[in-house]
Amino acid sequence: MWKEIGDREFGKLRPNLFSNRIKSARIASIQLSNYKDIISPHRGSVNSLQVDLTEGRYLLSSASDASVAVYDVQRATDYDESGLIAKHKHILLVDKQHEQGHKYAISTANWYPIDTGLFITGSYDHYVNVWDTNTTQVVVNFKMPGKVYKTAMSPVATSHMLIAAGTEDVQVRLCDISSGAFAHTLSGHRDGVMSVEWSASSEWVLVTGGCDGAIRFWDIRRAGCFRVLDQSHTQLGRRPSLLTRSTASKGSTLKPSSGGPNSSAKGRPSQKKMGNGVSIKYSAIARQVRGSGKQRLHPGMLSSQDRATAHYGAVNGLKMTNDGMYLLSAGSDSRLRLWDIESGCNTLVNFETSRLQATKATQLAISHDSTLVFVPCMSTTKAFDLWSGKTMMDLRGHYENVNCCLYNSLDQELFTGGNDRKILVWSPSRTTTEELEGREGQSFAIDQDNWSD
Protein backbone atom coordinates (compact mmCIF):
# COMPACT_ATOMS: atom_id res chain seq x y z
CA MET A 1 0.00 0.00 0.00
CA TRP A 2 2.62 2.53 1.08
CA LYS A 3 4.90 1.62 -1.81
CA GLU A 4 2.03 2.22 -4.25
CA ILE A 5 1.26 5.57 -2.61
CA GLY A 6 4.89 6.55 -3.05
CA ASP A 7 4.89 5.45 -6.68
CA ARG A 8 1.73 7.47 -7.24
CA GLU A 9 3.31 10.60 -5.71
CA PHE A 10 6.42 10.29 -7.89
CA GLY A 11 4.38 9.61 -11.03
CA LYS A 12 5.51 6.01 -11.46
CA LEU A 13 1.94 4.73 -11.17
CA ARG A 14 -0.93 6.05 -13.24
CA PRO A 15 -3.91 7.49 -11.34
CA ASN A 16 -6.45 5.06 -12.81
CA LEU A 17 -4.26 2.05 -12.06
CA PHE A 18 -3.70 3.24 -8.51
CA SER A 19 -7.43 3.78 -8.00
CA ASN A 20 -8.30 0.33 -9.37
CA ARG A 21 -5.78 -1.33 -7.05
CA ILE A 22 -7.23 0.42 -4.02
CA LYS A 23 -10.78 -0.51 -5.03
CA SER A 24 -9.81 -4.13 -5.66
CA ALA A 25 -8.17 -4.34 -2.24
CA ARG A 26 -11.29 -2.91 -0.63
CA ILE A 27 -13.70 -5.24 -2.35
CA ALA A 28 -11.53 -8.23 -1.42
CA SER A 29 -12.30 -7.50 2.25
CA ILE A 30 -16.04 -7.06 1.80
CA GLN A 31 -18.25 -8.31 4.64
CA LEU A 32 -21.62 -7.66 6.22
CA SER A 33 -21.46 -4.01 7.21
CA ASN A 34 -21.19 -3.26 10.92
CA TYR A 35 -21.58 0.49 10.48
CA LYS A 36 -24.40 0.91 7.93
CA ASP A 37 -27.94 -0.44 8.13
CA ILE A 38 -30.86 0.11 5.74
CA ILE A 39 -34.28 0.04 7.40
CA SER A 40 -36.56 -1.62 4.87
CA PRO A 41 -40.25 -0.58 4.93
CA HIS A 42 -41.23 -3.44 2.60
CA ARG A 43 -43.61 -6.14 3.79
CA GLY A 44 -42.83 -8.45 0.90
CA SER A 45 -39.79 -9.88 -0.84
CA VAL A 46 -37.38 -7.31 -2.29
CA ASN A 47 -37.23 -7.89 -6.05
CA SER A 48 -34.91 -5.24 -7.46
CA LEU A 49 -32.32 -2.65 -6.41
CA GLN A 50 -30.66 0.19 -8.28
CA VAL A 51 -28.48 3.17 -7.40
CA ASP A 52 -28.81 6.28 -9.55
CA LEU A 53 -26.17 6.68 -12.24
CA THR A 54 -25.65 10.41 -11.72
CA GLU A 55 -24.56 10.65 -8.07
CA GLY A 56 -24.44 7.05 -6.87
CA ARG A 57 -26.31 8.22 -3.79
CA TYR A 58 -29.99 7.26 -3.98
CA LEU A 59 -30.99 3.61 -3.73
CA LEU A 60 -34.26 2.52 -5.36
CA SER A 61 -35.93 -0.71 -4.22
CA SER A 62 -39.14 -2.51 -5.20
CA ALA A 63 -40.97 -5.32 -3.46
CA SER A 64 -43.74 -7.88 -3.81
CA ASP A 65 -46.10 -5.86 -1.58
CA ALA A 66 -46.48 -3.37 -4.46
CA SER A 67 -44.24 -0.81 -2.78
CA VAL A 68 -41.22 1.12 -3.99
CA ALA A 69 -38.84 3.09 -1.76
CA VAL A 70 -35.89 5.46 -2.10
CA TYR A 71 -32.99 5.73 0.40
CA ASP A 72 -30.08 8.11 0.75
CA VAL A 73 -27.10 5.77 1.20
CA GLN A 74 -24.62 8.62 1.69
CA ARG A 75 -26.36 10.53 4.51
CA ALA A 76 -27.80 8.67 7.47
CA THR A 77 -31.20 9.56 8.86
CA ASP A 78 -30.46 8.24 12.35
CA TYR A 79 -27.90 6.41 14.48
CA ASP A 80 -28.18 3.66 17.05
CA GLU A 81 -27.66 4.23 20.79
CA SER A 82 -23.91 3.76 20.55
CA GLY A 83 -23.65 6.14 17.61
CA LEU A 84 -21.58 3.65 15.61
CA ILE A 85 -24.20 2.22 13.26
CA ALA A 86 -25.74 4.62 10.74
CA LYS A 87 -29.38 3.90 9.97
CA HIS A 88 -30.77 4.78 6.56
CA LYS A 89 -34.55 5.06 6.46
CA HIS A 90 -36.56 5.65 3.33
CA ILE A 91 -36.98 9.23 2.17
CA LEU A 92 -39.71 8.29 -0.30
CA LEU A 93 -42.28 5.49 -0.23
CA VAL A 94 -45.07 4.59 -2.65
CA ASP A 95 -47.31 1.64 -1.77
CA LYS A 96 -50.80 0.29 -2.41
CA GLN A 97 -52.35 3.13 -0.43
CA HIS A 98 -51.19 5.60 -3.06
CA GLU A 99 -53.94 6.58 -5.46
CA GLN A 100 -51.76 5.74 -8.47
CA GLY A 101 -49.85 2.87 -6.91
CA HIS A 102 -49.56 -0.63 -8.34
CA LYS A 103 -52.06 -3.27 -7.29
CA TYR A 104 -49.74 -6.28 -7.41
CA ALA A 105 -46.07 -7.05 -6.91
CA ILE A 106 -43.51 -4.66 -8.40
CA SER A 107 -40.97 -6.84 -10.15
CA THR A 108 -38.57 -4.17 -11.39
CA ALA A 109 -37.63 -0.54 -10.73
CA ASN A 110 -35.15 1.68 -12.57
CA TRP A 111 -33.86 5.21 -12.34
CA TYR A 112 -33.99 7.49 -15.33
CA PRO A 113 -30.35 7.28 -16.51
CA ILE A 114 -29.44 10.99 -16.54
CA ASP A 115 -31.60 12.40 -13.75
CA THR A 116 -33.07 11.33 -10.42
CA GLY A 117 -36.26 13.26 -11.15
CA LEU A 118 -37.87 10.20 -12.74
CA PHE A 119 -37.99 6.48 -12.01
CA ILE A 120 -39.73 3.58 -13.72
CA THR A 121 -41.59 0.63 -12.17
CA GLY A 122 -42.96 -2.55 -13.73
CA SER A 123 -45.55 -4.68 -12.00
CA TYR A 124 -47.53 -7.89 -12.21
CA ASP A 125 -50.63 -5.73 -12.68
CA HIS A 126 -49.58 -5.39 -16.35
CA TYR A 127 -48.50 -1.74 -16.04
CA VAL A 128 -45.23 0.11 -16.50
CA ASN A 129 -45.35 3.47 -14.68
CA VAL A 130 -43.06 6.46 -15.00
CA TRP A 131 -42.99 8.44 -11.73
CA ASP A 132 -42.02 11.99 -10.90
CA THR A 133 -39.74 11.70 -7.86
CA ASN A 134 -40.56 15.14 -6.48
CA THR A 135 -44.36 14.86 -6.63
CA THR A 136 -44.63 11.02 -6.43
CA GLN A 137 -47.16 11.14 -9.25
CA VAL A 138 -47.35 9.00 -12.38
CA VAL A 139 -46.30 10.98 -15.42
CA VAL A 140 -46.81 8.28 -18.07
CA ASN A 141 -48.05 4.70 -17.87
CA PHE A 142 -48.05 1.85 -20.39
CA LYS A 143 -50.51 -1.05 -20.45
CA MET A 144 -48.81 -4.36 -21.15
CA PRO A 145 -50.41 -7.62 -22.34
CA GLY A 146 -49.18 -9.57 -19.32
CA LYS A 147 -47.07 -9.53 -16.16
CA VAL A 148 -44.02 -7.30 -16.38
CA TYR A 149 -40.82 -9.17 -15.51
CA LYS A 150 -38.12 -6.65 -16.37
CA THR A 151 -37.66 -3.10 -17.61
CA ALA A 152 -34.47 -1.34 -18.65
CA MET A 153 -33.26 1.96 -20.12
CA SER A 154 -30.03 2.45 -22.02
CA PRO A 155 -27.34 4.14 -19.87
CA VAL A 156 -25.59 5.52 -22.97
CA ALA A 157 -28.58 6.70 -25.01
CA THR A 158 -28.48 10.27 -26.30
CA SER A 159 -31.10 10.19 -29.08
CA HIS A 160 -33.99 8.18 -27.61
CA MET A 161 -35.92 7.72 -24.34
CA LEU A 162 -37.05 4.12 -24.76
CA ILE A 163 -37.97 1.67 -22.01
CA ALA A 164 -37.49 -1.97 -22.98
CA ALA A 165 -40.08 -4.12 -21.23
CA GLY A 166 -40.00 -7.90 -20.97
CA THR A 167 -43.31 -9.51 -20.06
CA GLU A 168 -44.96 -12.92 -20.07
CA ASP A 169 -45.90 -12.13 -23.68
CA VAL A 170 -43.55 -13.33 -26.42
CA GLN A 171 -42.93 -9.80 -27.74
CA VAL A 172 -40.54 -7.24 -26.29
CA ARG A 173 -42.06 -3.77 -26.27
CA LEU A 174 -40.23 -0.46 -26.48
CA CYS A 175 -42.05 2.33 -24.65
CA ASP A 176 -41.29 5.92 -25.59
CA ILE A 177 -41.50 8.30 -22.63
CA SER A 178 -41.54 11.41 -24.81
CA SER A 179 -44.63 10.36 -26.78
CA GLY A 180 -46.30 8.09 -24.23
CA ALA A 181 -46.78 5.34 -26.81
CA PHE A 182 -45.10 2.12 -27.94
CA ALA A 183 -42.31 2.77 -30.41
CA HIS A 184 -42.41 -0.77 -31.79
CA THR A 185 -42.34 -4.41 -30.75
CA LEU A 186 -39.60 -7.02 -31.16
CA SER A 187 -40.89 -10.43 -32.21
CA GLY A 188 -38.83 -13.61 -32.09
CA HIS A 189 -39.10 -15.28 -28.70
CA ARG A 190 -41.42 -18.27 -28.37
CA ASP A 191 -42.22 -17.69 -24.70
CA GLY A 192 -42.20 -14.91 -22.12
CA VAL A 193 -39.18 -12.61 -21.74
CA MET A 194 -37.73 -12.54 -18.22
CA SER A 195 -34.61 -10.42 -18.71
CA VAL A 196 -33.63 -7.42 -20.83
CA GLU A 197 -30.28 -5.64 -20.94
CA TRP A 198 -29.09 -2.71 -23.04
CA SER A 199 -25.61 -2.71 -24.51
CA ALA A 200 -22.99 -0.76 -22.60
CA SER A 201 -21.36 0.46 -25.82
CA SER A 202 -24.27 1.12 -28.21
CA GLU A 203 -27.59 2.81 -27.57
CA TRP A 204 -29.24 0.81 -30.37
CA VAL A 205 -28.40 -2.74 -29.25
CA LEU A 206 -30.70 -4.61 -26.87
CA VAL A 207 -30.21 -8.09 -25.41
CA THR A 208 -33.15 -10.18 -24.25
CA GLY A 209 -33.44 -13.54 -22.53
CA GLY A 210 -36.61 -15.58 -22.71
CA CYS A 211 -38.31 -18.51 -21.07
CA ASP A 212 -37.61 -20.43 -24.28
CA GLY A 213 -33.91 -20.52 -23.32
CA ALA A 214 -32.87 -18.12 -26.10
CA ILE A 215 -30.75 -14.98 -25.84
CA ARG A 216 -31.36 -12.58 -28.72
CA PHE A 217 -29.54 -9.45 -29.85
CA TRP A 218 -31.61 -6.71 -31.44
CA ASP A 219 -30.78 -3.58 -33.38
CA ILE A 220 -33.86 -1.50 -32.61
CA ARG A 221 -33.42 0.49 -35.84
CA ARG A 222 -34.43 -2.47 -37.99
CA ALA A 223 -36.72 -5.48 -37.86
CA GLY A 224 -35.61 -8.88 -36.59
CA CYS A 225 -32.84 -9.89 -34.25
CA PHE A 226 -29.34 -10.06 -35.71
CA ARG A 227 -27.93 -12.73 -33.38
CA VAL A 228 -29.15 -15.72 -31.39
CA LEU A 229 -26.62 -17.18 -28.97
CA ASP A 230 -25.97 -20.91 -29.23
CA GLN A 231 -24.44 -22.75 -26.30
CA SER A 232 -22.78 -25.23 -28.68
CA HIS A 233 -20.93 -22.40 -30.48
CA THR A 234 -17.88 -22.13 -28.25
CA GLN A 235 -14.42 -20.72 -27.86
CA LEU A 236 -11.97 -21.51 -25.10
CA GLY A 237 -11.37 -18.66 -22.67
CA ARG A 238 -11.07 -14.94 -23.30
CA ARG A 239 -10.51 -13.37 -26.68
CA PRO A 240 -6.87 -12.32 -27.16
CA SER A 241 -6.13 -8.65 -26.76
CA LEU A 242 -6.02 -6.31 -29.75
CA LEU A 243 -2.22 -6.01 -29.54
CA THR A 244 -1.78 -9.79 -29.55
CA ARG A 245 -4.11 -10.22 -32.51
CA SER A 246 -2.34 -7.51 -34.52
CA THR A 247 1.05 -9.13 -33.86
CA ALA A 248 -0.27 -12.53 -34.89
CA SER A 249 -1.78 -11.15 -38.10
CA LYS A 250 1.53 -9.55 -39.05
CA GLY A 251 3.35 -12.85 -38.52
CA SER A 252 0.84 -14.76 -40.62
CA THR A 253 1.13 -12.57 -43.73
CA LEU A 254 2.31 -14.44 -46.84
CA LYS A 255 5.90 -13.93 -47.95
CA PRO A 256 6.70 -13.66 -51.66
CA SER A 257 8.02 -16.95 -53.05
CA SER A 258 11.32 -17.22 -54.95
CA GLY A 259 10.02 -19.46 -57.72
CA GLY A 260 10.38 -16.88 -60.49
CA PRO A 261 8.17 -14.21 -61.98
CA ASN A 262 5.36 -16.61 -62.81
CA SER A 263 5.09 -17.90 -59.27
CA SER A 264 3.13 -14.84 -58.16
CA ALA A 265 0.60 -15.42 -60.90
CA LYS A 266 -0.03 -18.94 -59.68
CA GLY A 267 -0.89 -17.64 -56.22
CA ARG A 268 -3.62 -15.35 -57.52
CA PRO A 269 -7.20 -16.51 -57.11
CA SER A 270 -8.89 -17.63 -60.31
CA GLN A 271 -11.16 -15.17 -62.02
CA LYS A 272 -14.23 -15.64 -64.17
CA LYS A 273 -15.64 -13.00 -66.47
CA MET A 274 -19.37 -12.50 -66.68
CA GLY A 275 -21.25 -11.41 -69.76
CA ASN A 276 -20.96 -7.76 -68.81
CA GLY A 277 -17.20 -7.98 -68.45
CA VAL A 278 -17.13 -7.86 -64.63
CA SER A 279 -14.68 -10.33 -63.11
CA ILE A 280 -15.39 -12.28 -59.94
CA LYS A 281 -12.62 -13.51 -57.66
CA TYR A 282 -13.36 -16.96 -56.28
CA SER A 283 -12.13 -16.32 -52.79
CA ALA A 284 -13.59 -17.78 -49.60
CA ILE A 285 -15.67 -14.65 -49.03
CA ALA A 286 -17.08 -14.76 -52.55
CA ARG A 287 -18.03 -18.40 -52.18
CA GLN A 288 -19.69 -17.62 -48.84
CA VAL A 289 -21.71 -14.78 -50.34
CA ARG A 290 -22.68 -16.89 -53.35
CA GLY A 291 -23.73 -19.79 -51.12
CA SER A 292 -25.83 -17.59 -48.85
CA GLY A 293 -27.54 -15.84 -51.74
CA LYS A 294 -30.30 -18.42 -51.79
CA GLN A 295 -31.49 -17.40 -48.33
CA ARG A 296 -32.35 -13.73 -48.20
CA LEU A 297 -33.61 -13.80 -44.60
CA HIS A 298 -31.80 -11.97 -41.84
CA PRO A 299 -29.17 -14.27 -40.20
CA GLY A 300 -31.04 -14.07 -36.90
CA MET A 301 -34.22 -15.31 -38.56
CA LEU A 302 -32.83 -18.40 -40.29
CA SER A 303 -34.57 -21.53 -39.08
CA SER A 304 -31.35 -23.27 -37.99
CA GLN A 305 -30.05 -20.31 -35.99
CA ASP A 306 -33.42 -19.05 -34.84
CA ARG A 307 -34.01 -22.18 -32.75
CA ALA A 308 -30.64 -22.06 -30.98
CA THR A 309 -30.73 -21.98 -27.18
CA ALA A 310 -28.31 -20.52 -24.65
CA HIS A 311 -29.73 -22.43 -21.67
CA TYR A 312 -31.76 -25.58 -21.15
CA GLY A 313 -34.30 -23.55 -19.19
CA ALA A 314 -35.52 -20.00 -18.90
CA VAL A 315 -32.95 -17.20 -19.06
CA ASN A 316 -33.75 -15.24 -15.90
CA GLY A 317 -30.66 -13.05 -15.57
CA LEU A 318 -28.41 -11.01 -17.89
CA LYS A 319 -25.51 -8.73 -17.06
CA MET A 320 -23.03 -7.08 -19.40
CA THR A 321 -19.47 -6.17 -18.43
CA ASN A 322 -18.66 -2.50 -18.09
CA ASP A 323 -16.70 -2.46 -21.36
CA GLY A 324 -19.57 -4.07 -23.27
CA MET A 325 -17.42 -6.93 -24.56
CA TYR A 326 -18.82 -9.86 -22.56
CA LEU A 327 -22.26 -10.97 -21.42
CA LEU A 328 -23.07 -13.11 -18.38
CA SER A 329 -26.29 -15.09 -18.38
CA ALA A 330 -28.05 -17.10 -15.68
CA GLY A 331 -30.67 -19.73 -16.34
CA SER A 332 -33.21 -21.83 -14.53
CA ASP A 333 -30.98 -24.82 -15.36
CA SER A 334 -28.66 -23.49 -12.59
CA ARG A 335 -25.97 -22.61 -15.10
CA LEU A 336 -23.94 -19.45 -15.54
CA ARG A 337 -22.45 -18.78 -18.94
CA LEU A 338 -20.05 -16.10 -20.15
CA TRP A 339 -20.42 -15.01 -23.77
CA ASP A 340 -18.05 -13.17 -26.07
CA ILE A 341 -20.29 -10.54 -27.64
CA GLU A 342 -18.10 -9.92 -30.71
CA SER A 343 -18.01 -13.55 -31.80
CA GLY A 344 -21.20 -14.72 -30.07
CA CYS A 345 -19.35 -17.69 -28.60
CA ASN A 346 -19.74 -19.44 -25.28
CA THR A 347 -16.37 -18.99 -23.57
CA LEU A 348 -16.73 -22.29 -21.66
CA VAL A 349 -15.91 -20.72 -18.30
CA ASN A 350 -16.83 -23.39 -15.77
CA PHE A 351 -18.52 -21.62 -12.89
CA GLU A 352 -18.54 -23.78 -9.79
CA THR A 353 -21.73 -25.59 -8.88
CA SER A 354 -24.44 -23.27 -7.64
CA ARG A 355 -28.19 -23.51 -7.32
CA LEU A 356 -30.10 -20.64 -8.87
CA GLN A 357 -33.73 -19.62 -8.66
CA ALA A 358 -35.91 -20.93 -11.45
CA THR A 359 -39.26 -19.21 -10.93
CA LYS A 360 -38.45 -15.49 -11.07
CA ALA A 361 -36.00 -13.05 -12.59
CA THR A 362 -32.72 -12.53 -10.75
CA GLN A 363 -30.50 -9.46 -10.72
CA LEU A 364 -26.75 -10.00 -11.15
CA ALA A 365 -23.97 -7.55 -10.33
CA ILE A 366 -20.41 -7.09 -11.65
CA SER A 367 -17.56 -5.27 -9.93
CA HIS A 368 -16.05 -2.06 -11.27
CA ASP A 369 -13.16 -3.81 -13.04
CA SER A 370 -15.32 -6.73 -14.29
CA THR A 371 -13.33 -9.32 -12.38
CA LEU A 372 -16.00 -10.42 -9.89
CA VAL A 373 -19.62 -11.29 -10.49
CA PHE A 374 -22.14 -11.46 -7.65
CA VAL A 375 -24.89 -14.04 -8.10
CA PRO A 376 -27.91 -14.79 -5.85
CA CYS A 377 -27.69 -18.50 -5.04
CA MET A 378 -30.75 -19.36 -2.99
CA SER A 379 -30.16 -17.93 0.52
CA THR A 380 -26.54 -16.94 -0.15
CA THR A 381 -24.76 -14.56 -2.47
CA LYS A 382 -21.68 -15.93 -4.19
CA ALA A 383 -18.88 -13.96 -5.79
CA PHE A 384 -17.26 -15.73 -8.72
CA ASP A 385 -14.12 -14.87 -10.61
CA LEU A 386 -15.50 -13.91 -14.00
CA TRP A 387 -12.66 -15.45 -16.02
CA SER A 388 -11.99 -18.68 -14.10
CA GLY A 389 -15.38 -19.40 -12.52
CA LYS A 390 -13.92 -20.02 -9.08
CA THR A 391 -15.90 -19.05 -5.98
CA MET A 392 -14.08 -16.16 -4.33
CA MET A 393 -16.61 -15.27 -1.60
CA ASP A 394 -19.70 -16.82 -0.05
CA LEU A 395 -21.79 -14.09 1.57
CA ARG A 396 -24.36 -15.37 4.06
CA GLY A 397 -26.75 -13.07 5.87
CA HIS A 398 -30.25 -13.54 4.51
CA TYR A 399 -32.67 -15.98 6.11
CA GLU A 400 -34.46 -16.72 2.84
CA ASN A 401 -33.72 -16.66 -0.89
CA VAL A 402 -31.80 -13.71 -2.33
CA ASN A 403 -33.42 -12.10 -5.38
CA CYS A 404 -31.17 -9.22 -6.37
CA CYS A 405 -27.62 -7.89 -6.07
CA LEU A 406 -26.34 -4.39 -6.72
CA TYR A 407 -22.73 -3.24 -6.70
CA ASN A 408 -22.05 0.43 -6.00
CA SER A 409 -18.67 1.28 -7.52
CA LEU A 410 -18.54 4.65 -5.74
CA ASP A 411 -18.04 3.13 -2.28
CA GLN A 412 -17.27 -0.47 -3.31
CA GLU A 413 -20.40 -1.66 -1.52
CA LEU A 414 -22.78 -4.48 -2.34
CA PHE A 415 -26.52 -4.35 -1.68
CA THR A 416 -28.65 -7.49 -1.60
CA GLY A 417 -32.39 -7.99 -1.24
CA GLY A 418 -34.29 -11.18 -0.55
CA ASN A 419 -37.53 -12.87 0.39
CA ASP A 420 -36.89 -12.08 4.05
CA ARG A 421 -37.83 -8.44 3.21
CA LYS A 422 -34.35 -7.25 4.19
CA ILE A 423 -31.85 -5.10 2.32
CA LEU A 424 -28.34 -5.93 3.50
CA VAL A 425 -25.22 -3.84 2.98
CA TRP A 426 -21.85 -5.51 2.40
CA SER A 427 -18.97 -3.07 2.88
CA PRO A 428 -15.16 -3.23 2.97
CA SER A 429 -13.78 -4.02 6.39
CA ARG A 430 -13.15 -0.96 8.53
CA THR A 431 -10.41 -2.70 10.47
CA THR A 432 -8.14 -2.30 7.45
CA THR A 433 -8.80 1.43 7.38
CA GLU A 434 -8.17 1.75 11.11
CA GLU A 435 -4.90 -0.15 10.80
CA LEU A 436 -3.80 2.14 7.97
CA GLU A 437 -4.67 5.19 10.02
CA GLY A 438 -2.68 3.81 12.94
CA ARG A 439 0.31 3.11 10.70
CA GLU A 440 0.02 6.57 9.21
CA GLY A 441 0.17 8.14 12.65
CA GLN A 442 3.10 5.94 13.58
CA SER A 443 5.02 6.85 10.43
CA PHE A 444 4.36 10.53 11.11
CA ALA A 445 5.86 10.15 14.58
CA ILE A 446 8.94 8.46 13.11
CA ASP A 447 9.44 11.25 10.58
CA GLN A 448 9.48 13.90 13.31
CA ASP A 449 12.84 15.41 14.18
CA ASN A 450 14.17 17.37 17.16
CA TRP A 451 13.11 20.66 15.61
CA SER A 452 9.42 19.70 15.41
CA ASP A 453 7.03 21.59 17.65
Q: Using pLDDT thresholds of 50, 70 and 90, give the confidence band for residue 82.
A: confident
Q: Which residues, at least 6 apart from 190, have a Cβ–Cβ distance to it below 8 Å? A: 170, 210, 212, 214
User: What are the angstrom distances between the C-alpha of 73 and each of 208, 229, 344?
Assistant: 31, 38, 38
Q: Which residues contact 421 (CB under 8 A, 6 or more apart)?
A: 40, 42, 43, 44, 45, 46, 63
Mean pLDDT over residues 269-296, rounded?
Answer: 40
Contacts of 441 (CB under 8 A, 6+ apart): none
pLDDT(447) > 50: no
pLDDT in tens, 132-147: 999 999 999 999 999 9
Instruction: Say whether pLDDT at 154 is over 50.
Output: yes
| Cα–Cα distance for residue pair 270/280, rounded to 1 Å | 8
CA distance 230 to 39: 43
pLDDT band at 405 (very low <50, low <70, confident <90, very high): very high
Determine phi and psi for 344, rounding to 5 degrees: 75, 20
Residue 301 has pLDDT above 60, yes or no: no
Distance CA 281, CA 99 (A): 70
What pTM does this model have? Answer: 0.78
Identify whether the C-beta of residue 327 lies closer than 8 Å to the C-beta of residue 339. yes
* pLDDT at residue 280 tops 50: no
Average pLDDT, the chain: 81
